[in-house]
């Protein structure tokens, strides 16, 4: 749909070039911001509210997913008035369980799909995978791109596949995982971002969490800048989700600074920015409690699930 609405598609082989050293310098500048007092507390609450609480394991069970959903709704009841996380992120087989557990909490259910994490499956299988997740009740679909085809220069294949999955998503919002750790250069990250956005992605996402490196600030910056250029060109906002490797609140706050200074305040909410993480939530909670009590916290006082 989005693809069809654009009159002209860019030549993805000439996506803007990225200078790695410049990107890293810029990314490190965000880490120099000092976030104190109220700004810190507000930032932490915002981070908590942007988390896609994730479990993507072969050993996932109904029981595990239910516990995670409870944690999503009640991150830390000892502190009243905390926001919930943004979503629960699970495999398609767990969507129904999650959906039921979350009830009318407002928390979204995101499902990975399209032969996650490798994406090495035929297109019809991926479409069926997606439709299954959506039919089970997924509000959001996290797909992976075909990195092999991308490296082989078959950009049209990658584009068409994303467009097909987008169609299969129906009302569900589509997050496109680039798996930046497999792309090799920032130039390719930028190109993959452009392809995904033009093909209809609602979000672009760095990683599956299964490959190292996962999300980094420089790679996220490259994607945020791609989002900005797309917005300048089309007026359409695209969301961003760094995933994997962000487990500390301080780092998460640096990401917020980056979003704020690259894209501005419109993106500073969980409709347009998410953290894909499993252990970040508890670190954020510990920091929140520390800010409220002035006492450094210990992990044993915070439920793991």
Partner 1 sequence: MPVTKKKPVKKSNTIKLKFDTSWSYDPAPESKSAATIKPQYDLFINGEWQKPLSNKYFATINPANEEKLSEVAEANTADVDKAVKAARNAYEKYWKKMPARERAKYVFRIARMVQEKARELAIIETLDGGKPIRESRDFDVPTAANHFFYYAGWADKLEYAFPNRKAEALGVAGQIIPWNFPLLMAAWKIAPAISTGNTVVLKTAETTPLTALKLAEIIEEADLPPGVVNIITGAGETGAAIVNHPDINKIAFTGSTDVGKIIQRAVAGTHKKVTLELGGKAANIIFEDAPIDQAVEGVINGIYFNQGHVCCAGSRLYVQESVAKQVIRKLKDRIESLIVGDPLDKNTDIGAINSRSQLETIQKYLKIGKQEGAEMYESSCPLPKKGFWCRPTLFTNVAQSNRIAQEEIFGPVLSILTFRTDDEVIEKANNSPYGLSAGVWTDKGSKIFNMTRRMRAGVIWANTFNKFDPSSPFGGYKESGFGREGGLHGLLPYLSLKV
Partner 2 sequence: MGKTIINKSSLSISENGLEKKTSSKRLEVLKTYKIYIGGQFPRTESGRYYIPVNAAGKKLANVCLSSRKDFRDAVVSARGAFSGWSGRAAFNRGQILYRMAEMLEGRKAQFIDELIQQDATKAKAEKEVNLAIDRLIYYAGWCDKFQQLFSSVNPVATSHFNFSVPEPTGVVSIIAPQDDSLLGLVSVIAPVIAGGNTCVVLASETKPLCAVTFAEVLNSSDLPGGVVNMLTGKPSELVSWFVDHMDVNATIYCEKDSITQKMMREKSALNLKRLTFYDKVNWYSEEGQSPYFIMDTQEIKTTWHPVENIAGAGGGY
Measured from the CB of residue 228, what is the shortest distance to partner 2 in angstroms?
Answer: 19
With binding defined as CB under 8 A, does residue 49 bind partner 1? yes
By the rule CB under 8 A, 268 interacts with partner 1? yes
Could you count the other beta carbons within 10 Å of the beta carbon of residue 89?
Answer: 31
The yes or no reply on residue 16 touching partner 1 (CB under 8 A) is yes
Find the binder of partner 2 among 200, 209, 218, 276 (CB under 8 A): 218
Distance of CA 188 to the CA centre of its chain: 19
Q: Is 167 helix (H, G, I), strand (E, B) or coil?
A: helix
Residue positions annotated with a catalytic role: 142, 205, 241
Q: Could you give the CA distance from residue 196 to residue 293 in angstroms, rounded to a whole number?
A: 44
Q: How far is the CB of 150 from partner 2 (least distance, A)?
A: 13
Query: Taking the complex as a whole, how short is the minimal distance between the CB of residue 118 and partner 1, in angstroms?
Result: 31
Stretch that binds partner 1, among 104-112, 169-177, 210-218, 240-248 (CB under 8 A): 104-112
Q: Given candidates 15, 49, 84, 180, which one binds partner 2 under the rule CB under 8 A? A: 180
Among 3, 24, 137, 268, binds partner 2 (CB under 8 A): 24
In total, the chain counts a number of residues equal to: 305
Q: Can you list the pairs that 67-75 forms with residues at least 24 positions away whose Cβ atoms lie under 8 Å?
A: 67/305, 68/98, 68/305, 69/98, 69/101, 69/102, 69/107, 70/101, 70/305, 71/281, 71/303, 71/305, 72/102, 72/105, 72/107, 73/102, 73/105, 73/107, 75/48, 75/281, 75/285
Q: Does 188 bind partner 2 (CB under 8 A)?
A: yes
Binding mask 218-257 for partner 1 (x = CB under 8 A): -------x--x--xxxxxxx------------------x-
Closer Cβ to partner 2, 76 or 188, answer by number: 188
Q: How many of the chain's residues bind partner 1 (CB under 8 A)?
A: 48
Q: Measure the CA–CA gap between 18 and 222, rounded to whole angstroms.
A: 8
Q: Interface with partner 1 includes 106 (CB under 8 A)?
A: yes
Q: Which two tokens stand for residue 287?
A: 């920091």
Residue 9 near partner 1 by CB under 8 A: no
Task: Compare residues 97 and 192 and give the one whose CB is closer to partner 2.
Answer: 192
| CB neighbourhood size of 153 (10 A) | 11
């Amino acid at each position: 749909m989005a693809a069809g609405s654009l009159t002209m598609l860019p030549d993805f082989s000439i996506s803007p070039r990225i200078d790695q050293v410049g990107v890293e310098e810029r990314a490190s500048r965000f880490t120099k911001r000092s976030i104190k007092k109220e700004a810190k507390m507000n930032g932490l609450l915002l981070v908590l509210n942007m988390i896609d609480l994730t479990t993507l394991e072969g050993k996932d069970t109904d029981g595990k997913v239910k516990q995670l959903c409870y944690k999503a709704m009640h991150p830390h009841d000892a502190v009243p008035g905390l926001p919930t996380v943004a979503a629960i992120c699970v495999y398609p087989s767990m969507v129904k369980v999650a959906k039921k557990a979350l009830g009318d909490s407002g928390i979204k259910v995101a499902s990975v799909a399209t032969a996650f994490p490798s994406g090495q499956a035929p297109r019809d299988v991926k479409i069926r995978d997606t439709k299954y997740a959506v039919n089970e009740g997924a509000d959001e679909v996290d797909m992976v791109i075909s990195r092999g085809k991308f490296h082989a220069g078959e950009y049209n294949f990658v584009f068409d596949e994303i467009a097909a999955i987008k169609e299969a998503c129906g009302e569900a919002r589509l997050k496109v995982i680039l798996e930046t750790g497999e792309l090799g250069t920032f130039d390719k990250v930028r190109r993959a971002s452009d392809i995904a956005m033009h093909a209809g992605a609602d979000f672009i996402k760095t990683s599956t969490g299964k490959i190292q490196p996962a999300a980094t600030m420089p790679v996220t910056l490259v994607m945020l800048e791609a989002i900005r250029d797309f917005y300048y060109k089309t007026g359409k906002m695209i969301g961003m989700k760094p995933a994997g490797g962000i487990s500390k609140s301080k780092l998460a706050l640096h990401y917020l600074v980056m979003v704020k200074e690259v894209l501005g305040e419109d993106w500073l909410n969980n409709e347009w920015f998410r953290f894909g993480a499993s252990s970040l939530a508890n670190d954020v909670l510990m920091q929140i409690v520390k800010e409220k009590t002035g006492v450094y916290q210990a992990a044993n006082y915070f439920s793991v699930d």
